[in-house]
A and B are shown apart, each in its own frame.
Chain A
């Protein structure tokens, strides 16, 4: 498992290849969040971000068969087309990999202490993000081992 909160850019391809090396891995799902249209500054709560992301990954591991996982989230000044966040999940089968990847992104959006500021001001949180995270409540996940 790798969780990194960093200013620097990342190589999504290299991170995905790194999670494909175990011969038991049959599926690697990934998500890359990219700055859309407007430049921004991402502020975070340094003492908490790493811990919050690790907690989200642990929760995903309880719900699905996650063989390995990488989460990278950037902070600082970002320009349009810059990568912001990467989630990579390796599993034996695609169902677990897709679900865990989406779950981690949905929870990250509501639980990880990052805030976006654009020239026009602070970006407001969206109710749709709370709804996206909420739909996982009460779902046991799909534990299909083997």
Chain B
């Protein structure tokens, strides 16, 4: 299935892209699985999305836990803990 993935703030800079459309291999059905899939690209991806890094996630503009399920056409966002206010 195809999903839209967005990156914000420090993560966007580290990964060098604001976002992309990705065709997910079969078996990748959660936000955590997508994160792990992206980490598999190595280099900056492996570092920025490492398990030890605090990364917040959203699905269709709502904060989402790692176990959140994905469906075709979803907009998934990865970003650092927020610092507004």
One digit per residue, 1 when the CB lies within 8 angstroms of any chain A CB and 0 when it does not, for chain B 51-83 equals 000100010011100000000000101011111
Across the A-B interface, the 8 shortest Cβ-Cβ residue pairs: A114-B84, A125-B81, A115-B9, A48-B61, A122-B10, A109-B85, A123-B83, A116-B83
Extra 20 A-B pairs, beta carbons < 8 Å, given A45-B58, A108-B84, A112-B82: A43-B8, A47-B61, A47-B75, A48-B58, A48-B61, A51-B62, A73-B84, A84-B85, A85-B84, A109-B85, A113-B77, A114-B85, A115-B10, A115-B83, A116-B83, A122-B10, A122-B83, A123-B83, A125-B54, A125-B83
Name 25 interchain pairs, CB-CB below 8 A, sorted by A.
A43-B8, A44-B84, A45-B8, A47-B61, A47-B75, A48-B58, A73-B84, A73-B85, A85-B84, A85-B85, A109-B82, A109-B83, A109-B84, A110-B81, A111-B63, A112-B82, A113-B77, A114-B84, A114-B85, A115-B8, A115-B79, A115-B82, A115-B84, A121-B10, A125-B83
- Residue B80 contacts which of A51, A112, A125 (CB distance < 8 angstroms)? A125
Task: Return the chain B residue nearest A73 by Cβ.
Answer: B84
Chain B residues within CB distance 8 Å of chain A: 6, 8-10, 54, 58, 61-63, 75, 77, 79-85
State the CA gap A112–B79 with chains docked (Å).
12
A33 CB–B CB distance under 8 Å: yes
Contact A42:B61 (CB < 8 A) given known A115-B8, A115-B9, A125-B54: no
Identify whether the interface residues of A are mostly helix, strand, loop, or mixed: mixed
How many residue pairs link A and B with beta carbons under 8 A? The number is 76
Task: Count contacts on A: residues with CB < 8 A to the other chain.
Answer: 29
- Chain B residues near A108 (CB-CB < 8 A): 84-85
State the CA gap A14–B47 with chains docked (Å).
47
- Chain B residues near A115 (CB-CB < 8 A): 8-10, 79-80, 82-84
Contact A42:B58 (CB < 8 A) given known A113-B8, A113-B79: no
